[in-house]
Chain A
Amino acid sequence: MTVNWVALLQVFGATLLATVVVVTLFVLGIRALSGDKKVPAYASFAGCVAVVLYGLSLIVF
């Protein structure tokens, strides 16, 4: 009986990396928006969207 631990480790790594990147970018965006810095704020939010779309593209293609 073999368990594919590498695949499980991949799930953990991918989840950790993607989640931390997305939430960090999002909070930085909110901080920039609080200081009325529109350009960095929108850049952060766009970064979140890009990470999500990249992740989905990995699944679909």
Chain B
Amino acid sequence: MDPALVVIIVVITALIFDFTNGFHDTANAMATSIATGALKPRTAVALSAVLNLVGAFLSVEVAKTISGGIVDDAQITPAIIFGGLVGAIMWNLVTWYVGLPSSSSHALFGGLIGAAWVASGVDAIHFAKVVDKVLVPAIVAPLVAGLVAAIATIVVYRLKKAADPRVSHTGFKVGQVASASLVSLAHGTNDAQKTMGIITLALITSGSLAPGSGPPTWVIVSAGLAIALGTYLGGWRITHTMGRGLTTIEPAQGFAAQTSTATAILASSHLGFALSTTHVASGGIMGSGLGRDRHGVRWGTMGKMAAGWLLTLPAAGTVGALAGKWASSGTTGVIGVAVIGSAVSIGIWLLSRREPVKPEHIVDEVAAQAELHKVAA
């Protein structure tokens, strides 16, 4: 198959991945604001979408990590990248359907590494770079966000005792919206970059760009738009788990959690660490729960989430490996992977239509929860 055609297919698939990433991750930024009633779900996702778009333009460090480091661009082809992407999308859709906040980023890395490994051999992967820029930050960043969120929550709750409860309730709702906006912005600086990195990598492997190049402007714009659109259209299902399942969240606590999450992601993006914004956000929420009340975290839910996190790399890696191997075998392979990938995607989408979680459902449950908070205060 004409390499240029494969590159076009990769670009389209990468943008679809970016869209599902936004779809998946609306929850991270807006879950706490929606759960405390600080923002209406529709407003929250619209705001988040715009800020993701803006964030995509702020930095290209993470894109460079992906296009210029974790795999050897001389040893892989656009077809292999295509296989890796399909693996990532499959895993993203399955976890989305089940309501598990797994990491789109780790799905992408898993898919790409699996595909490159099986199709081109173990030499095609720069494991040192993977460990330094992906694996270690994957563990450290959520811990940093959690620890800082716990400290911030303790500070906030100590200091706010002297404040008028009505003023502080309204005040923290505003603060929460501001900090949620920062999380969305931070999300754009890290997650939109991953798609840019993949497209840039495909362009480099096909010879359209020189090795070591940053993403061209059209790549930045289209990746930003795809993630923004995905954010706007999706995410109710996961918002459900994140906002309510993990721990009960008050506005002051949401504010502390999100401020630390946003800062941790922004600082990491600046250094080119390609991390999972999902994991960092969960770390922030957990840490703030601990800061408020040592017994306030539902460890059972946390355990299930952590299991999903651990599964992501190998699961997406396996699907990516199969798809990458087949796609790199020639035209039939690329077409076959595309057909199966589309069929599974449509299947899951149809299944999800059977029992849709609409924004209205979440509003009702949030209202009920807000009542409890008022009584408790």
Contact = CB atoms under 8 A, between A and B. Distances in A.
Interface of A: 1-4, 7-8, 10-12, 14-16, 18-20, 22-24, 26-31, 33-34, 52, 55-56, 58-60
Given A1-B128, A24-B155, A27-B155, A11 B273 contact: yes
A30 B156 CA distance: 11
Contact of B156 (A3, A23, A55, A56): A23
B365 to A, nearest CB: 28
Contacts of A59: 58-59, 189, 266, 269-270
A8 B259 contact: no
A55 B263 contact: yes
Given A7-B271, A31-B163, A59-B270, A23 B255 contact: yes
A4 B156 contact: no
Contacts of B339: none
A23 B162 contact: no
B160 A60 contact: no
Given A23-B256, A59-B59, A11 B141 contact: yes
B172 interface: yes
10 contacts: A11-B144, A14-B267, A19-B149, A23-B156, A26-B175, A30-B171, A33-B163, A34-B164, A59-B58, A60-B58
B97 interface: no
Given A1-B128, A11-B140, A16-B151, A55 B266 contact: yes
A37 B270 CA distance: 38
Contacts of A16: 148, 151
A18 B144 CA distance: 13
B293 interface: no
B163 A2 contact: no
B152 A58 contact: no
A29 B375 CA distance: 26
B326 to A, nearest CB: 31
Contact of B159 (A7, A8, A27): A27
B189 to A, nearest CB: 7
Interface in B242-289: 255-256, 259-260, 263-264, 266-271, 273
Which of A3, A8, A15 has the most chain B CB within a 10 Å cutoff? A15
B186 to A, nearest CB: 9
B267 A10 contact: yes
Interface residues of B, number: 44
B167 interface: yes
B209 to A, nearest CB: 24
B145 interface: yes
Contact of B270 (A2, A26, A33, A58): A58
Contacts of A22: 259, 263
Given A2-B128, A30-B171, A59-B59, A10 B271 contact: yes
Nearest to A29: B171
Which of A30, A33, A60 has the most chain B CB within a 10 Å cutoff? A30
Contacts of A26: 171, 175, 255
Q: Which 3 A-B pairs have the closest CB atoms?
A: A34-B164, A27-B159, A30-B171
Given A26-B255, A33-B167, A19 B269 contact: no
A16 B149 CA distance: 9
Contacts of B140: 8, 11-12
Given A10-B267, A10-B271, 10 more contacts: A11-B144, A15-B260, A15-B267, A16-B151, A19-B151, A20-B155, A22-B259, A23-B259, A30-B172, A52-B182
